[in-house]
Amino acid sequence: MLLAYAGQGYYGFQRNPGVKTIEEDLLLALFKVGYINEQILNNSRLIRLDRASRTDKGVSALGQVVSLKLPINASVGEINANLSPEIRAVALVKVTQGFSSRTYSNARSYSYTLPTFAFAHLTADSSLLFWLSMELRKQIDAVLRLFLGSHSFHNFTTGKTPLESSAFRTIISFICGEPFIIDGIEFVIIRIKGKSFMLHQIRKMVGLVIAIVRGLTSLETLRKSLAKTVVNIPLAPSVGLLLEKVHYKRYNRKYEGDGIHTSLHWSKWRREVDSFKKRLIMPLLIKA
């Protein structure tokens, strides 16, 4: 299932008793339409439910992928009729037996949208309008490049030690896009692609980039943070973060064109995804 959602007001994707989550609302919708029974509602492992990313509290998604067992006649229309407008089931496709949206993924792409004045140097005149110069964009890109490759990101999450193998992650790309203006305010989108990410990792990466560009700390802090040193990293707000796409390169290479399974490129549903972003995601990002 390709899923899009506006995460504000939700305590992340993963089910968490006592709080509002995307997974909880999805399961309730499946129960209401009759696709699952009460036993499965209380234990989603019975339908092998898995998600490609456990997005944090307040984080939105355009390309979340959920794997689960559903009736052959399941339809996104019936599911969406029982979901709030902030959550949309975009597409349902048949996959191989044993497929997991999490473990079969080879990479994930996120974006972080923020006003460019967030990069204004601490000595800048706050009364003046701020526009991102080409020189400053080059500086941002230079900082972003330092994250590329495989590193221990123990300082960019919680509960990890410097040499813990699970703290090592690979960043494939990290770039700053062209500035754009909405309602007189200049914004920019930072895009990141990696094999996988930990809790708070991207938000802390963005937070550190902002701190360096603003002159609140130095590049040396970044270098130390990727080494064995323990460094306190600022956390950027969750509202700017968006799960854009989950990549299944190996799966598509193996099963695309076999006449049975649909490839997981999702390009067929681009119009629906773009419409959802325009209506529900961008207003959240701009308002914040």
- Show binding-site residues for substrate: 110
Let me know: does 281 contact 60? Beta carbons within 8 Å: yes
**Catalytic annotation on 56?**
yes
Residue 150's contacts (CB-CB under 8 Å, 6 or more residues apart) are: 168, 169, 170, 171
Rounded-to-integer distance, Cα 16 and Cα 55, Å: 13
Which amino acid appears at position 61 of this protein? A
Q: Which segments within the chain are labelled E, that is strand?
A: 2-5, 50-51, 60-67, 87-91, 107-115, 149-152, 168-176, 180-182, 185-194, 241-247
Which entry of 25, 56, 125, 258 is annotated as an active-site residue? 56
287's enclosing H/E stretch is helix 282-287
Which residues are known to be catalytic? 56
